[in-house]
């Protein structure tokens, strides 16, 4: 019996890889592996071995998008592009599981021209626009560049359970194949799946990356250091506005809002089916119900949660109304989702890889979390009043600025520049990135035990 038939289908990809590995090794083999202490491979070795393995398998077109598009046009097949950087080991685990001979996925993958992109150097950002805080992003396209859909989302720093699954990926692939079969009759409904022109055509053209990277990976040199990782694109976007001393657009600060921001939780095993709706949320106010299957959003067909996030990303920060076509109990209806001004600000930024850059810019390396009820009570801070606890402090460079300014672990930030409404670390990020510039300082009220202090926190580039 294949190992995947013995495992729960709704588990994270890396767990499946580990389970498959464990099942393939005998107890005696494991004892030998544990007894031995093999030397750790360098990052360069991991990158080169990944390339050799992919080329030997001869299933994926490896890091060659022009060839992949040409093959899709020649064959008439749709194109599947998996974006994941190296040597990000978590991304490798995800992609290795995708390559594995999954009994459901493999026949679906065989109907696509499959390409793996392991570095974003030279990536066409007009076509490949996605949440750069993802470590695994999938595009399904026509050979002419028309996008059928996207796959890959997350709402936690390390956990994928609840956001993606192998059955969900199979559903997305099936949906893309159906759209491909209807193409070009459905071309008009797919047009909005491409966004506005990007700030720069490809990552290495951003000012903060231009002198450090080229359009190609350097396999003959320090290949692991020549790679532009996904999160570096997001960092470069933020740096662009910061260096121009412009407020960070909310679409950049709060990219690709997760449906949870709207009170909507989708079943990761399905294309776009609601598993719960939070009472009192914007989703509940619109009239969505558990079990609703979303068919179209703003006129665009949906194949995954990532497609929903794409539509939300295109929705202005000023708010608006989005028409959603749903199927409920076998009947189709249209529900209008109304979003108020600054609706994006409900999103949580602290889980994102980009939060480390935001901390450098706005908190001097302080990692903050809301104080617990016990911590509030001990400090005499009433419920509802601002109280951000210093959970951790950076030690060096710009990430040590908070420590050098006198902050300590367990300090409670209770007021910043006269404001007491910054209840989350994300709120402070937004304040620092939209209302303050590098070189400014924040006047911070601090509770340290029984002491009440005022400290000055510098804003950094």
User: Above 60 in pLDDT, residue 37?
Assistant: no
**CA-to-CA separations, 18 to 21, 316, 323, in angstroms, rounded:** 5, 42, 42
Q: What is the mean pLDDT of residues 189-196?
A: 97
**Residue % of the chain over a pLDDT of 90:** 74
159 phi, psi to nearest 5 deg: -95, 135
Q: What's the pLDDT score for residue 8?
A: 36
Q: What confidence category does residue 261 fall into, taking pLDDT thresholds of 50, 70 and 90?
A: very high
Q: What is the pTM of this model?
A: 0.87
Residues 119 and 86: beta-carbon distance below 8 Å = yes
Phi/psi of residue 283, nearest 5 degrees: -65, -40
Cα 457 from Cα 435, distance rounded (Å):
15
- What is the rounded distance in angstroms from the CA atom of residue 100 to the CA atom of residue 176? 20
Per residue in 77-115, pLDDT (tens digit) is 999 999 986 655 555 455 555 555 678 898 999 999 999
Tell the residue number behind the tokens 């059955």, with chain if given. Answer: 167
- The phi, psi pair for 184, rounded to 5°, reads -95, 10
- Cis peptide leading into residue 77 (ω within 30°): no
- Selection from 365, 395, 348, 368 nearest residue 460 by Cα: 365
Q: Rounded to an integer, what is the distance from CA 92 to the centroid of its chain?
A: 16
Residue 47 pLDDT: 74
Confidence of residue 221 (pLDDT cuts 50, 70, 90): confident
Q: Is 160 helix (H, G, I), strand (E, B) or coil?
A: coil
DSSP code of residue 258: -
Percent of the chain with pLDDT over 70: 88
- Cα–Cα distance for residue pair 444/425, rounded to 1 Å: 14
Average pLDDT over residues 246-256: 94
Average pLDDT over residues 386-401: 96
329-353 pLDDT tens trace: 999 999 999 999 999 999 999 999 8
Report d(CA 405, CA 459) in Å as an integer: 12
User: 36, exposed or middle or buried, with CB in 10 Å at 0-12, 13-18, 19+?
Assistant: exposed
**What mean pLDDT comes out for the span 311-340?**
97
pLDDT of residue 17: 32
Q: Reply yes or no on whether the pLDDT at 197 is more than 90.
A: yes
Residue 454 corresponds to which tokens in the numbers above?
A: 């005022």
Q: Which of 247, 288, 291, 299 is nearest to 437 (CA)?
A: 247
Encode pLDDT of 122-171 as tens digits. 999 999 999 999 878 999 999 999 999 999 998 887 777 788 888 999 99
Q: Measured between alpha carbons, how far is 135 from 131 in angstroms, rounded to an integer?
A: 9
pLDDT above 50: residue 222 = yes
Task: Give the pLDDT of residue 15.
Answer: 36
């Amino acid at each position: 019996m294949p190992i995947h038939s013995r495992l729960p289908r709704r588990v994270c990809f890396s767990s499946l890889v580990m389970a498959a590995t464990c099942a393939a090794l005998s107890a005696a083999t494991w004892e030998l592996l544990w007894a031995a202490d093999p030397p750790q491979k360098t990052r360069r070795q991991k990158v080169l071995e990944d390339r050799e393995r992919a080329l030997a398998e001869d299933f994926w077109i490896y890091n060659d998008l022009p060839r992949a598009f040409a093959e899709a046009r020649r064959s008439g097949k749709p194109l599947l592009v998996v974006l994941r950087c190296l040597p990000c080991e978590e991304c490798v685990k995800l992609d290795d599981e995708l390559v594995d001979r999954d009994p459901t996925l493999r026949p679906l993958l065989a109907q696509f021209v499959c390409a793996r992109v392991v570095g974003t150097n030279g990536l066409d950002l007009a076509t490949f626009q996605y949440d750069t805080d993802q470590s695994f992003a999938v595009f399904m396209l026509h050979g002419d560049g028309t996008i059928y859909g996207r796959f890959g989302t997350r709402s936690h720093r390390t956990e994928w359970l609840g956001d993606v699954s192998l059955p969900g990926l199979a559903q997305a692939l099936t949906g893309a194949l159906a759209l491909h079969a209807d193409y070009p009759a459905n071309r008009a409904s797919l047009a909005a799946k491409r966004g506005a022109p990007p700030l720069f055509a490809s990552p290495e053209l951003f000012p903060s990356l231009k002198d450090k990277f080229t359009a190609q990976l350097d396999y003959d040199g320090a290949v692991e250091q020549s790679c532009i990782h996904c999160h570096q694109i997001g960092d470069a976007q933020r740096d662009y506005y910061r260096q121009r001393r412009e407020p960070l657009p909310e679409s950049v600060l709060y990219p690709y809002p997760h449906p949870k921001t709207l009170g909507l939780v989708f079943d990761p095993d399905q294309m776009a089916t609601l598993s719960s709706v939070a009472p009192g949320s914007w989703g509940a106010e619109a009239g969505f119900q558990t079990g609703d299957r979303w068919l179209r959003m703003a006129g665009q067909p949906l194949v995954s949660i990532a497609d929903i996030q794409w539509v939300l990303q295109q929705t202005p920060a000023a708010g608006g109304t989005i028409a959603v076509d749903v199927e409920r109990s076998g009947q189709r209806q249209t529900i209008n989702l109304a979003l108020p001004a600054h609706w994006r600000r409900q999103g949580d930024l602290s889980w994102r890889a980009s939060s480390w850059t935001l901390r450098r810019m706005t908190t001097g390396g302080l990692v903050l979390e809301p104080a617990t009820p016990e911590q509030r009570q001990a400090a005499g801070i009433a419920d509802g009043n601002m109280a951000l606890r210093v959970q951790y402090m950076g030690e060096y460079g710009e990430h040590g600025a908070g420590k050098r300014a006198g902050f300590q672990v367990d300090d409670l930030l209770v007021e910043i520049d006269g404001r007491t409404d910054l209840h989350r670390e994300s709120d402070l990020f937004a304040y620092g990135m939209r209302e303050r510039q590098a070189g400014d300082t924040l006047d911070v009220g601090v509770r340290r035990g029984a002491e009440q202090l005022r400290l000055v926190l510098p804003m950094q580039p």
